[in-house]
Structure 1
Amino acid sequence: MMSTVLITGCSSGFGLESAKRFHEAGWEVIATMRTPQQDLLPPSLRLLALDVTDAASVERAVEAAGPIDVLVNNAGFGAVAPVELTAPETARALFETNVLGTLAMVRAVAPHMRRRRAGVIVNVSSTVTVKTLPLIGVYSASKAAVNAFTASLALEMQPFGVRAHLVLPGRAPQTRFGDNAMPHLRGMDDLDYSPQLQGFVQSVLEDQGPVTHATDVAQAVWRAATDPAAPLRIAAGADAELWMAEAGLA
């Protein structure tokens, strides 16, 4: 029997590559994005509109999807700004999407998995939660929140035959993460913070040293979905593996 995976945030990067990975393996893939663009995906993939911050949108998408064997919560965005300069609306948006949006999908899908006594939930987080970095403090906090409730979720769902995992990517300069984060950049015109910000932005954009590729994340998501022995936290990318090892989590 063919397994079904629903993946959020498939318009680019990790979500798009994960959708392709499962499709190549013969799964039924339900790819979701806020504004559906079928030309981004193989024609045989199901594509649904989904805004994880909209309760009605979540309900419609989950109902249209039907039974889901694996839920991959990938939708999210970042923001670059010193903590004290992070705009309140940016902080709210980060938590609305990264935390509450992920939680909304879990709340919508987990009851069905629990009743069937089977299923896997994979939440894409970040290794910034295991290595403290400046200028992304509020983003890091949102991902740390995802880590915390996923760890509890894994324990809560285990008696019902449902697994929960975290995939932690590292720096991914080839994705649109930087492009999506730049509109929320604050502090470049601040004499104190500007030097830090210029250096940080340059390091994010440079494709030097060990980095994470979208295919690394897709493979980590695949492992979480298909390997019953997979750990709670799975590093995705060469740099992510190094950071996880340094944190004693490898």
Structure 2
Amino acid sequence: MKTVLITGSSSGYGLETARHFHDLGWNVIATMRRPSPGILPASDRIKLVALDVTRADSIAHAVEQAGPIDVLVNNAGIGVIGAFEATSMQTVREVFEANTFGAMAMVQAVIPQMRERRAGTIVNVTSSVTLASMPLAAAYTASKTAVEGFTGSLAHELGAFGIRVKLVEPGYCPTTRFAENGAERMNGLIPDTYADYARPIFDAFARPQATTQPQDVAQAIWRAAHDVSDQLHFPAGADAVALAGPR
């Protein structure tokens, strides 16, 4: 029986992905900063593990508890929406620590065991902002675009050792806790000078023409985890697929 470790499993894409892999017979290591019993079914194939991807000791502890990992899903991350002019460099660094360096650190932690077995898959979850840039998301877009470049290079590097590396690019999902999780750091990021510019953008967020659901992302991650071709990009959701176009 295979094992998947999923970061950021407390809600949204990560939680739905944990359910999906469990329902299809896998062992699931569902990680989150503060494990919440009851969010996933009681099962001997599900283990909730505390993990902060910005801390090396927390990563080492989680990987040790997981045992042999067949698939790593890097889903944990934070969002920030606001004018870049008003975004402190401390906030930018926090976004990169979670979204970029956290994913890199997780990859580095699992490479040795996958390389020794000459098997395994790493799935990095980014965003459709890497397919089509959007305003008021410069720091977030930069952090996710960095993961895209990292993943493409890594796919070549680790392919020589039998390890597959994939990207899943979700579209816009209004049911995730993106804004809620980033609310504190987004205070004051829309100054009065940007209010008129930001208003129609937020109105468009509230009435999207197409959206992505967590199950769309879970299914895309499942496909990526099982894909044995050279396909790197897996857009998730009708809006992301439309943005990606033919590859």
Does TM, normalized by the shorter one, top 0.5? yes
Q: CA deviation at 1:180?
A: 2.1
2:35 counterpart letter in structure 1? P
Q: CA deviation at 1:230?
A: 6.3
Percent same amino acid at aligned positions?
51
Equivalent residue, structure 2, for 1:36: 35
1:146, 1:12 → 2: CA distance?
Answer: 21
Distance 1:212 1:189, change over 3 A: same
Q: CA deviation at 1:87?
A: 1.4
Equivalent residue, structure 2, for 1:209: 209
Q: CA deviation at 1:227?
A: 2.1
Normalised TM-score (structure 2):
0.95
Equivalent residue, structure 1, for 2:164: 163
- 4+ residue runs over 4 A deviation: none
Equivalent residue, structure 2, for 1:3: 2
2:243 counterpart letter in structure 1? W
Instruction: Report if aligned partners of 1:32, 1:48 keep a CA contact under 8 Å in 2.
Output: yes
Q: CA deviation at 1:123?
A: 0.3
Equivalent residue, structure 1, for 2:232: 232
User: C-alpha offsets along residues 16-38 of structure 1, whole Å, 9 cap, x if unaligned?
Assistant: 00000000000000100000002
Instruction: Report if aligned partners of 1:4, 1:28 keep a CA contact under 8 Å in 2.
Output: yes
1:187, 1:24 → 2: CA distance?
Answer: 41
Instruction: Report if aligned partners of 1:157, 1:163 keep a CA contact under 8 Å in 2.
Output: yes
Distance 1:66 1:162, change over 3 A: same
Alignment RMSD: 1.3
Q: CA deviation at 1:210?
A: 1.2
2:11 counterpart letter in structure 1? S
2:211, 2:196 → 1: CA distance?
Answer: 23
The SS at the match of 1:37 is: coil
Q: Tell me the matched-pair count.
A: 244
Instruction: Report if aligned partners of 1:223, 1:230 keep a CA contact under 8 Å in 2.
Output: no
The SS at the match of 2:82 is: coil
2:113 counterpart letter in structure 1? H
Q: CA deviation at 1:171?
A: 0.6
What are the within-5 Å matches in structure 2 for residues 76-155 of structure 1? Answer: 76-155=77-156
Normalised TM-score (structure 1):
0.94
1:244 counterpart letter in structure 2? A
Q: For structure 1, list consecutive stretches of 5 or more residues without a partner in the other structure.
A: none
Q: CA deviation at 1:195?
A: 1.8
